[in-house]
Chain A
Amino acid sequence: MKVKTFKQGIHPAYNKELTAGKALQKAKDPAQVVIPLQQNIGAPCEPLVKVGDQVKVGQKIGESQSFVSAPIHSSISGVVKAIREVEVGTGRKTLAVIIESDGQNTLHEDVKPKGDLDSLSGDEIREIIREAGIVGMGGAMFPTHVKLSVPEGKTVDTVILNGAECEPYLTVDHRIMIEHPEEVVYGLKALMKVLNVNKGYIGIEDNKSDAIEAMIKATENEPEIEVVPLETKYPQGGEKMLITAVTGREVPSGGLPADAGCVVNNVTTAYAIAKAIKTGMPLIERPVTITGRGIKEPKNLMVKIGTSVAELIEQAGGFKGKPGKVILGGPMMGISAHNIDVPVLKGTSGILVLTADEVEDFEPRPCIRCARCVDVCPVFLMPVTLANYAQHDMFAELENYNVLDCIECGSCSYICPAKRPLLHYIRLGKAEVLAQRRKK
Chain B
Amino acid sequence: MSNPKLIVSSSPHIRDVDTIPRIMHTVNLSLLPAVLMAVYYFGFYALMIILTCVIFSVLTEAIWQKLRGKEITISDGSAILTGLLLALTLPPRLPLWMAALGAIVAISIGKQVFGGLGYNPFNPALVGRAFLLAAFSVEMTTWYLPGAGVDATSTATPLALMKMSGQPTSYWDLFIGNIGGSLGETSALAIILGGAYLIYKGYVDYRITIGYLGTVAVLTAVFGQDPIFHLLSGGLVLGGFYMLTDMVTSPITKLGRWIYGIGAGVILVVIRLWGGYPEGVLYSILLMNMTVPLLNRYTRPRTYGEVKQ
Contacts and interface: CB of A to CB of B under 8 A. Distances in A.
B222 interface: no
Nearest to B202: A372
B303 A381 contact: yes
B161 interface: no
Interface residues of A, number: 76
Contact of A337 (B6, B11, B251, B300): B6
Interface centre among B10, B73, B254 (most CB of A within 10 A): B10
A42 interface: no
A340 B247 contact: no
Interface string B188-214: 000000000000001100000000000
Contacts of A379: 303-305
Nearest to A418: B20
A417 B11 contact: no
B74 interface: no
A168 interface: yes
Contacts of A325: 6-9, 13
Given A319-B4, A324-B7, A340-B4, A370 B23 contact: yes
Contacts of B305: 240, 250-255, 379, 405
A369 B14 contact: no
A311 interface: yes
Given A378-B304, A379-B304, A405-B304, A369 B6 contact: no
Contacts of B273: none
A336 B6 contact: yes
Q: Per DSSP, are chain A's interface residues mostly helix, strand or loop, or mixed?
A: loop
Nearest to A341: B3
B306 interface: yes
Interface stretch (B37-45, B92-100, B116-124, B131-139): B116-124
Contacts of A359: 7, 13
A374 B253 CA distance: 7
Interface in B1-59: 1, 3-4, 6-16, 18-20, 22-23
B307 interface: yes
B62 interface: no
B interface bracket (residues with beta carbon within 8 Å of A) = 35 or more
A416 B11 CA distance: 14
B252 A374 contact: yes
Contacts of B116: 366
Given A354-B13, A418-B20, A402 B252 contact: no
A413 B304 contact: no
B291 interface: no
> Among B9, B22, B251, B252, which residue has the most Cβ atoms of chain A within 10 A?
B252
Interface in A228-243: 240
B95 to A, nearest CB: 33
B304 A253 contact: yes
Contact of B13 (A323, A327, A408, A424): A327
Contacts of B301: 374, 380, 382
A369 B248 contact: yes
A169 to B, nearest CB: 9
A423 interface: yes
A382 B248 contact: no
Nearest to A310: B1
Given A332-B12, A366-B118, A413-B15, A382 B252 contact: yes
Nearest to A251: B305
Shortest beta-carbon contacts, A-B, top 9: A410-B12, A371-B252, A379-B304, A366-B118, A253-B305, A310-B1, A370-B247, A402-B303, A331-B13
Interface of B: 1, 3-4, 6-16, 18-20, 22-23, 73, 76, 115-119, 202-203, 247-254, 296, 300-307
Interface of A: 10, 12-13, 91, 168, 240, 244, 250-255, 310-311, 313-314, 318-319, 322-327, 331-341, 352, 354, 356, 359-360, 362, 365-372, 374-375, 378-382, 384-385, 401-402, 405, 408, 410-411, 413-419, 421, 423-424, 427
5 contacts: A12-B14, A252-B305, A366-B119, A368-B20, A414-B14
Given A310-B3, A354-B14, 13 more contacts: A13-B14, A253-B306, A323-B6, A326-B6, A336-B7, A354-B13, A365-B73, A365-B118, A370-B247, A379-B303, A381-B303, A382-B252, A414-B15
